[in-house]
């Protein structure tokens, strides 16, 4: 589909068929290299990654969250792990959407397209009803997910808890090795 949207005639006809505000709300970019992606992602309210292939780690989801965006992801593999974390923070959004039957993280089943469409519609309407300050709060909550779960400090804390029962918190503020200890400079002196 995205390749077809690179054809101006097809893209024009396709977008003309879209009704209402969807033409203003959704932009199909096609492939973007990382330089362009990082500039555009912060302008978005929703990122969609409907991957059908197993994702070892949901990097695109974490990048979206770091930019303050709720990602719509297929609910499997590495994406499922990210969904389980951000679902805790955005439970209010998920719970209401599921109660209305309008939102469900898309699974790899026969309902994938319908779940994806429902999730996008629900989140776009959700955002449309927010004030600017409420939108900023959503962005702040998304970024906090990254700080609490995906920074080097957070990863090291989890690693220490898993590997030896310790915690970076138990080690105090000086949990990082001294400068030169792990970067190779100490051995070159």
State how far the Cα of 149 lies from the Cα of 58, in Å rounded to an integer.
13
- pLDDT for residue 139 is more than 90: yes
- What are the tens digits of pLDDT across the range 29-54? 777 888 888 788 878 888 888 888 88
CA dist 128 and 100 (Å) reads 17
The mean pLDDT value of the chain amounts to 78
Indicate the domain borders of the chain. 1-31, 32-150
Residue 165: the pLDDT is 64
Q: Check: CB of residue 69 under 8 Å from CB of residue 142.
A: yes
Rounded mean pLDDT of 145-149?
93
Residue-wise pLDDT for 99-116, tens only, equals 877 677 888 888 888 888
Report DSSP state, residue 36.
Answer: H
**32-150 CATH:** 3.40.50.2000
Q: Which two tokens stand for residue 184?
A: 């190779």
């Amino acid at each position: 589909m995205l390749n077809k949207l690179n054809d101006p005639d097809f893209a024009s006809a396709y977008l003309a068929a879209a009704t209402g505000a969807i033409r203003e709300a959704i932009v199909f970019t096609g492939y973007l290299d990382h330089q362009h992606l990082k500039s555009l992602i912060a302008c978005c309210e929703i990122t969609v990654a409907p991957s059908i292939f197993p994702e070892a780690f949901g990097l695109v989801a974490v990048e979206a969250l770091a930019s303050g965006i709720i990602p719509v992801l297929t609910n499997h593999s590495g994406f499922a792990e990210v969904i389980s974390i951000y679902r805790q923070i955005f439970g209010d959004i998920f719970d209401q959407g599921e109660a209305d039957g309008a939102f469900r993280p898309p699974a790899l089943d026969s309902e994938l397209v319908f779940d994806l469409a429902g999730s996008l519609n629900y989140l776009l309407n959700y955002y449309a009803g927010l004030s600017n300050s409420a939108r900023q709060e959503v962005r702040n909550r998304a970024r906090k997910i990254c700080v609490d779960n995906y920074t080097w400090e957070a990863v090291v804390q989890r690693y220490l808890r898993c590997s030896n029962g310790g915690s970076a918190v138990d080690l105090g503020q000086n949990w990082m090795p001294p400068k030169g200890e792990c970067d190779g400079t100490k051995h070159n002196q």
